[in-house]
Amino acid sequence: MRKIGAYLLGVFLLLLLGAALIHPSLLVVADWLGPVFGSSVYLALTMAFLMLGDPLGIPILLFIWLFVALLIGCIVRRRIGAVGVVLLVWLTMLPIMASTVFAIAENVPNILQGADGPMGWLPPLPSGMTLTSIFEAPIVGKFVKVALEALNGNMDRRMLVEQVIVGLVTDVALKPVLLVVGTLIGVELGRLVEKRGLNGLKPSPKTAPTKAVAMLLIVCISLTPLIPSVSGVRFGEEAYTEAMIGALDKKGRAYIGDAFADTSSTLSGMGLSGSDTDGLAAAVVISHSGVIDILRKLISQDSSLDEVTSLVNLLPPTFAVVVYLGVPEATALQRSVSVSGALSSTYGVSLSKLTSFSMQPGEGNQTEQMPLITLAFYQSSSDVGVFADNYLTQFRSRGGFADTIGAAVDNGRLVPGETLDSASGAVFAAGFVNVDALMTYLSIEDIPEDVKGTLGAFLSGSITFAGGVSFWDNGAQPTDGSDNFDFLDLLGTSTTPSYSPTSDFSTLLTFAPPGENVGGGEDVPNIKISTSVPLTQEELDAVYRFFEDMGYVVRVTQGAPSPDNFQINTADLTLPLKVEVTKTITGGETATVTVTVTNKDTEPMTSVTLDDSDSLLGYAEGVDLVSGDTTGTWAVIPPGESRTITYKVRIDNPGVYTLEPASLSYTGNGVEFSDTSNRIETVASRPFFLFVPFELTALTWMMGSQLLDMVTGRGVIIMSVITLGFVALVVWDGFRSYKRWRKPKEASVAPQPESGDKSEAHP
């Protein structure tokens, strides 16, 4: 009975602990695919984690298998019997894992049938899911990395297949080895407790189980630590430039940008030297927040890219690109490791390899003159706030605009989510360009003389740069009720920025959209340019022609910036009304979605249409509209009033559901405008881990009956007979054990001495 009990307990505990302690990154993947595949994807990833995971690389997985092995050994306390039990437990896991794969494969044809394109079946990606989280996921991350290597041509198909198969076989075969070793240790522990107990005395029937559990706990506690765990490039003439930009667009967004470039910094100052810089053309680190929706909208404008729109969510929050020219991909990738380390150290982000690829530009004979371009990509889980704190590291000592931008980063205005007045989104970048490497393939004679005269200092050596753009949705409204919009208000300062005393060229540019009477009249500029260096009349004429051809009214000033340089008159600038569109969801399996549009302006909204019909785009399976309307139209929404649409949806499958933003169109002050709501997510409960062993058992029984039915036509009957036979075996063995336990022991009788035994003689 002990062997059967140990077997059942071992199978149950493996499934239970696998579901309870599954890697969080795998749960992210399951939450993403759950709405399409249902609970079977959770069960499949649980089994993949248990059977395909690397126990030597995942401490918690090693703990699970050793714990179960020790427990079985302590219960059985016989070497051969215990080893047989644990091997049977491992073998039982194989059909259970196969049944989860079969369950998913069974749904694939139905899912693909309604899909639009090869990737149209993919649901929208949850907001927290990036390439970083996928690469961190056990098993899944390994396969993605191998697939990327294959796509990049870094290995042929044979090597790909060998690497995948060898990895799988090794990880699967390692489990029985761990089980055998662990159970033999458990057997010795069980025997020790059985013979002597923990205090050297024979344990009584009441204390023996307690002492066995205590010994097992000591071993488990001892296992708990396993659970956690560019060359110096010389420059000719040094140069430093700085720039700030403030802008408004026709949708009412306000933007503030900055750019810095310096030729006095060296790559050796970043810890790079020697062969690391041979062929190194450039490297840049980019960090972003709040720009994914904008990218999705830009991509969705091309109908051919609809099916990959949500994949932009995979863009890591921080990533780096290292560019080599004329260097083979394998060599470039090896050298780029040092570059990524220098970038990580300089900008305070931890970068890890993502992928790489090479391309040969030009066609025909041009390829003989054009160098091979190799791009190495790295990623980081560091958010935009971490990088924003460090992207100006090499420029803060310069003062000037770097002081102003640095202060706005420190007070949180330029970093999304830091304060209530922070930007809605931002992108920051920093890195370097090795001009000498570029000039190897570009003759100096090909550069016009006037360009040489203007940019001479930037045509040799290396250039360190940094820049960023932050934007505020509906930020173009003046905060003081006047018609003068001040960009300094967005930065949270009233101090007018000054030029850096070490800058060779500083420029400040503010502008509003071009159009009739924009900016208060023809004589009031909607582009203001201020420079630290006087421009010649010829240069001024060129600037005026360039912008006036695009419909702008331009004013160029020279000298120190004034408060007026940061202000735009919005008296005649037609801006969207102050409108708020909010979207919420409440409830569980039957959820209520509410979309509300509120007119917070002093002018009425007319011809209003609110459309949320694309809310459930990407969820053909698992979601049904129960009641209500997804669209609403109103002739007028007066100032201060709201209008709402409400509908109910039934959610059948577990996972994270991403509801697309509702779209709003309206007319304000005779001009048509559009807006969108927020994107929302709702979570349908995952399978509770305590129920997972029973769900897996039921799934295996069902899939087994289906397979047998395909062969014999009597799958259910055969599986029922097998099940009843196993239950009968357990009951019979339990009954035998009970009888042995109830049977009284025969009294021991001392052996009678033989007649001739000398011990019987009396003195």
Which class in CATH covers the domain with range 579-684? mainly beta
Question: Has residue 143 got a pLDDT over 80?
Answer: no
Structure tokens at 648: 């109910």
Q: What is the pLDDT, as a whole number, of residue 550?
A: 74
Question: Which of 45-59, 453-467, 486-500, 606-620 has the least mean pLDDT?
Answer: 453-467
Give the mean model confidence (pLDDT) for residues 590-619.
89
Question: How far, CA to CA in Å, does 231 sit from each of 97, 217, 227, 338, 463?
Answer: 53, 56, 42, 12, 14
Phi then psi dihedrals of residue 149, to 5 deg: -60, -40
Q: Is-contact 194 73, C-beta < 8 A?
A: no
Q: What is the pLDDT, as a whole number, of residue 518?
A: 44
Give the mean model confidence (pLDDT) for residues 56-71.
88
Average pLDDT, the chain: 77
Residue 154 CB neighbour total at 10 angstroms: 18
Query: How does pLDDT run across 617-641, given as a tens digit for each residue?
Result: 767 666 788 899 999 999 999 999 9
Query: 198: pLDDT confidence band, cut at 50, 70 and 90?
Result: very low
Specify the long-range contacts of residues 521-524, CB closer than 8 Å, at least 24 apart: 521/572, 522/553, 523/553, 524/553, 524/569
Q: What is the pLDDT, as a whole number, of residue 527?
A: 82
- The residues of the chain that CATH labels 2.60.40.10 are 579-684
Query: How does pLDDT run across 509-529, given as a tens digit for each residue?
Result: 988 776 544 444 555 667 888
Q: What is the pLDDT, as a whole number, of residue 273?
A: 64
Helices and strands (H, E) in the chain, number of each type: 19, 23
Q: What is the pLDDT, as a whole number, of residue 457?
A: 52
Query: 211: pLDDT confidence band, cut at 50, 70 and 90?
Result: very low
